[in-house]
Amino acid sequence: MEGLMKFKDGTEIPQHFEDLQYYFNEQGELRHMVTNKPFLYNYYKNEYDRNHKRYKMIGDMVTLYVYELLEKDCNLQRINIPIDAAEDESRSFFFMSKDLLSIQTNLFVLLQDRGVIRAGQWAQKVIFHHSIGKGTQISYIKAALRDCGSVIVLNPNDNFVEVKEEPHTLVKTEEESCLIETGDKVGLTALQPKIIVPKRCCSSAEEHTSYVWDHFISKSAASNISFIAHGYGGLVFMDLLCKESKEVMSKVSAVAFIDSKHHAQHQARTEPEIQAWIRLHCRSWVLSAKPLDRPTGSLRKLDCPKVSAGTENHDLAPSVAFRSIFRFISRSSKSRRSLIPPAHTMITRSSTKRTCN
């Protein structure tokens, strides 16, 4: 730790995850390398600024660690967008299964809530205080892959890039210029404010999702497409449904809303076809003290069926409702397949064996 760079307030600038003295144990829990204790926010006694800066640094390291898991552990590939970006243009990205566009399979699209979380995460607080298994989308991805499916992990919150201006020397008058010490290059300097530049085609969660739909999801050979949307992600899906209603309704077999912020009646207006599709293909897991999967009352008769998420904690809802959501998607996919006329092929014993090619 002695060789680390430091901020002026003494806060260390980490170069690696281990520099922060934290690691994930075999259960995926964040632990201190020396004390083996859970994550502690108030690491520096009553120093909010230093603790917040440290919290943010650990969060950034967790984000990079999750990206690594998506690529190495889940075998997903990182796709930079927009695909026609110039070499020096700032780009966003998402993750998807390899050879997705050419393989007929069940496709799972994961759409997270808004905030600091990036691709592969449901809730950063859950990663910090519970486990990486409960706070990330890894369990959903692996379940989809085990079921011979493919995955697209959206990255809807990666919308802007910060452009830092070089500091410049202020020289207004001859009297003020004498304050500049040219010998050791110390003078009156001012930092230009950071410029926030939106990423083309990805300046919002809605724009990011629409772009990935147009260029990847809609072009895939998937026989069944399912969306799993948490929080604000539900509103984003409804935005996509309203913009591309005919294509979405023809390709998507199931949508699982988890404590969603969408409002079907307002977003989808009163179009009977869309409302009927929502009731048939969507289900919403809402925060409730009731046991998981119990029906919950709703005043929105035009919305989809609602069941309990088995928790009153928004951040934990994806983890708690995980198995229930996959049962719903599996039933929806089978129901859709039963409506598709069978291909004229000879049935043999070997052809009935389930394979994942």
What distance in Å separates the CA atoms of residue 143 and residue 158, rounded to the nearest whole number?
26
Model confidence pLDDT, tens digit, residues 206-243: 999 999 999 999 999 888 999 999 999 999 999 999 99
Of the residues 180, 198, 216, which one is the last residue of a structural domain? 198
Residue 350 carries which DSSP code?
G
Helical H runs in the chain?
48-68, 124-129, 132-135, 138-146, 174-177, 205-212, 232-243, 245-251, 264-267, 272-281, 317-320, 322-339
Establish if 271 belongs to a structural domain: yes
Establish if 353 belongs to a structural domain: no
Q: Are residues 88 and 222 in the same domain?
A: yes
Establish if 357 belongs to a structural domain: no
Q: Is 325 exposed, middle or buried (0-12, 13-18, 19+ CB in 10 A)?
A: buried
pLDDT at 75 over 90: yes
The domain containing residue 269 runs over which residues? 79-159+199-338
Q: Are residues 50 and 90 in the same domain?
A: no
Of the residues 34, 58, 73, which one is the last residue of a structural domain? 73
Integer angstrom CA distances of residue 76 from 15, 59, 226, 337, 355: 25, 22, 18, 26, 20
Q: Which residue has the tokens 């452009």?
A: 163
Q: Are residues 90 and 102 in the same domain?
A: yes
Q: Are residues 8 and 22 in the same domain?
A: yes
Q: Is 11 exposed, middle or buried (0-12, 13-18, 19+ CB in 10 A)?
A: middle
DSSP 3-state assignment of 348? Answer: coil
Q: Are residues 103 and 203 in the same domain?
A: yes
Q: Are residues 140 and 11 in the same domain?
A: no
Mention every residue, 6+ apart, whose C-beta is less than 8 A from residue 98: 75, 76, 77
Structure tokens at 108: 């799972």
Least confident of 37-46, 88-97, 174-183, 296-305: 174-183
Q: Are residues 189 and 126 in the same domain?
A: no
Q: Are residues 111 and 146 in the same domain?
A: yes
Establish if 56 belongs to a structural domain: yes
Establish if 280 belongs to a structural domain: yes
Which pTM value belongs to this model? 0.82
Establish if 264 belongs to a structural domain: yes
Q: Are residues 164 and 144 in the same domain?
A: no
What distance in Å separates the CA atoms of residue 67 and residue 76, rounded to the nearest whole number?
10
Q: Cβ distance 34 to 42 under 8 Å?
A: no
Of the residues 141, 175, 198, which one is the last residue of a structural domain? 198
Least confident of 80-84, 146-150, 320-324: 146-150
What distance in Å separates the CA atoms of residue 56 and residue 60, rounded to the nearest whole number?
6
Largest CA distance in the chain: 94
Q: Cβ distance 238 to 117 under 8 Å?
A: no
Phi, psi of 268 (to 5 degrees): -90, 0
What distance in Å separates the CA atoms of residue 92 and residue 156, rounded to the nearest whole number?
9
Model confidence pLDDT, tens digit, residues 1-14: 333 334 344 444 55
Establish if 87 belongs to a structural domain: yes
Model confidence pLDDT, tens digit, residues 310-347: 999 999 999 999 999 999 998 887 665 444 434 333 33
Q: Are residues 177 and 233 in the same domain?
A: no
Q: Are residues 274 and 226 in the same domain?
A: yes
pLDDT value at residue 302: 65
Average pLDDT for 108-122 = 97
pLDDT value at residue 28: 94
Least confident of 80-89, 206-215, 267-276, 284-293: 267-276
